[in-house]
Structure 1
């Protein structure tokens, strides 16, 4: 996954030198990041934690379902193309069978086709962000999804 930013000095202080407020993400938001690529996990973890969130990670959908049965999350960032159990399949199971059934889920994928977006919505995802990730776009989508969920 490629992140487009200038060395990710993130989050930047506001003009008064204070840390920026990223809304619900800054308020002790606990996020599950699901991706089979270690680099992608690290990038999302870094961005989210710098914005104020705490994170857990899973390397595929099967582990995500396991974590969703034992932990409570405020948000799930779900890659779509993974081995064992892909993001769409994992989302369906999370929605049907876990205590996190109503937790907002955002798809993170390089596939920007309308068909994929429709499938994400069909299985119960709340948002969609395409790769490469732009930090401000990512945070805007997270804030939108979390605001709609409350």
Structure 2
């Protein structure tokens, strides 16, 4: 998959996928690169995700909540607080299916929430809608 390398600085960088499980990162990347034909960047740690999100603007970010270290929720709040991706759609992808967790994430700035195990069509529809919304001038804050 040629789209898996971390891109250099430019206007937009496709989708950032953040998950500590390599198999999940590759699964999500395969779906997005083959179905939506988008470039992806993979991050296996929260620290790596924050570094990438601080240096590049993405069309969307897929973020797992249950990660070692800082944790996905903290990554979400930091991205929304101060990063070039403050307006970038963040889709939470998590095994946590309870409504309270979903509501907490949406209030913190998540754009959508997808429960694992991920259903391919749901993921594609969600990411496609988020990227389409991002491309509208009013959604991008222009």
State how far apart, in whole Å, the 2-side matches of 1:120 and 1:137 are. 18
Number of residue pairs the alignment of both structures matches? 123
Residue 29 of structure 1 and its aligned partner are, at CA, apart by: 6.9
**2:79 corresponds to 1:110:** no
Give the structure, 1 or 2, with the largest relative contact order (CA under 8 Å, sep 6 or more).
1
Structure 2: runs of 5 or more not aligned: 1-11, 137-142
- Please, what TM-score do these two structures have when normalized by structure 2? 0.81
Give the structure-1-normalised TM-score: 0.77
Is the counterpart of residue 79 in structure 1 residue 26 in structure 2? no
2: CA distance between counterparts of 1:80 and 1:147? 24
Larger of the two Rg values belongs to structure: 1
Runs of 4+ in 1 over 4 A off after TM superposition: none
For structure 1, which runs of at least 5 residues remain unmatched after alignment?
1-27
Cα root mean square deviation, aligned: 1.5
Q: Which residue of 2 aligns with 1:139?
A: 124
